[in-house]
């Protein structure tokens, strides 16, 4: 199943609603996502991991980063039942996907001058 890294339909709808605030929305998403990823990477127990994954899932979904949102959903739902190695593997997948999202959304942001 092919999932999208960046759903342009979602971004177009956000751009229409946010108008001149759209670049700020992109900036906020990118900055918040960096923090959410750091929270995932630093979580020491399943509960903290679930909470961080939940927040990251919501913001990613709202911004059209659908594959990232799905990976976060998987982590949120399974963190308490996964081995530490499996959790680490899924967090690594999220990190890799975020690198792709970061690149795509940074390029999207560059389309709008300050």
Q: Would you say residue 39 lies in a domain?
A: yes
What is the pLDDT at residue 3? 58
Q: Which of 1-5, 50-54, 91-95 has the lowest mean pLDDT?
A: 1-5
What is the pLDDT at residue 39? 96
Q: Would you say residue 23 lies in a domain?
A: yes
SS3 66: helix
Over range 79-100, report the average pLDDT.
95
pTM confidence score: 0.93
Residue 74 belongs to domain with CATH number: 1.20.120
Q: Would you say residue 15 lies in a domain?
A: yes
Q: Would you say residue 1 lies in a domain?
A: no
Q: Would you say residue 2 lies in a domain?
A: no
Q: What percent of the chain stands above pLDDT 70?
A: 97
Q: Would you say residue 26 lies in a domain?
A: yes
Q: Would you say residue 3 lies in a domain?
A: no
Q: How many structural domains does the chain have?
A: 1
Over range 75-89, report the average pLDDT.
94
- pLDDT for 2 beyond 90: no
Over range 29-51, report the average pLDDT.
95
Q: Would you say residue 17 lies in a domain?
A: yes
Range of the domain at 40: 8-110
**Residues 33, 101: contact at Cβ < 8 Å?**
yes
> How is residue 50 annotated by DSSP?
H
Q: Kindly give, in sequence order, each residue whose CB lies less than 8 Å from that of residue 65, ignoring residues fewer than 6 positions away.
A: 5, 6, 7, 101, 105
Over range 62-73, report the average pLDDT.
97
Over range 17-21, report the average pLDDT.
96
């Amino acid at each position: 199943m092919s999932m999208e890294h960046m759903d342009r339909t979602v971004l177009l709808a956000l751009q229409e609603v946010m108008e001149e605030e759209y670049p700020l929305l992109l900036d906020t998403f990118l900055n918040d996502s960096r923090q959410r990823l750091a929270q995932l990477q630093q979580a020491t127990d399943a509960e903290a991991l679930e909470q961080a994954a939940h927040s990251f899932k919501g913001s990613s979904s709202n911004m059209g980063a659908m594959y990232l949102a799905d990976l976060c959903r998987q982590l949120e739902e399974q963190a308490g039942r996964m081995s530490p190695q499996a959790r680490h593997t899924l967090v690594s997948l999220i990190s890799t996907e975020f690198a792709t999202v970061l690149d795509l959304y940074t390029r999207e942001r560059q389309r709008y001058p300050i």
